[in-house]
């Protein structure tokens, strides 16, 4: 069971559970698993280190937009950003039903 913070379940706990269970159930290739894990780790480090988010319920849509804006400013290729977005969407898809995220990572 993931540990909780004052603001909800800890992000790293969700990530560890995602990595151990969800990735295996989705039958991701080894390369996809490694890439998604790396992309999600970088995103969580951004949320925790630069934004100060500690729990899943603190994440806002603006945080996601800011992160991808930073990647664009750093010159990351569109294909790289698309892969990172796919990883983040996968992570939110895993977390959302149980975490009650206040965001919706969608194209709308």
Phi/psi at 95 (5° precision):
-80, -40
Does residue 27 lie within any of the structural domains? yes
pLDDT digit string, tens, across residues 32-76: 999 999 999 999 999 999 999 888 778 888 999 999 999 999 999
Contacts for 89 with CB less than 8 Å, ≥ 6 apart: 105
pLDDT digit string, tens, across residues 4-37: 444 446 888 889 988 888 888 888 899 999 999 9
At 57, which CATH number? 1.10.150.130
Q: What's the domain count of the chain?
A: 1
Does residue 52 lie within any of the structural domains? yes
Domain that holds residue 48: 9-97
Does residue 78 lie within any of the structural domains? yes
DSSP assignment string, 36-52: HHHHHHHHHHHIIIII-
Q: What is the pTM of this model?
A: 0.79
């Amino acid at each position: 069971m993931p540990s909780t913070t004052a603001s909800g379940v800890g992000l790293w706990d969700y990530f560890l559970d995602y990595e151990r269970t969800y990735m295996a159930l989705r039958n991701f290739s080894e390369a996809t698993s490694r890439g998604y894990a790396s992309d999600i780790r970088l995103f969580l480090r951004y949320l925790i280190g630069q934004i100060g988010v500690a729990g899943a319920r603190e994440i806002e849509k603006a945080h996601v937009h800011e992160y991808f804006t930073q990647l664009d400013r750093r010159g990351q290729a569109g294909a790289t950003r698309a892969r990172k977005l796919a990883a983040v969407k996968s992570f939110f898809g895993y977390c959302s039903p149980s975490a009650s995220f206040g965001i919706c990572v969608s194209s709308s």
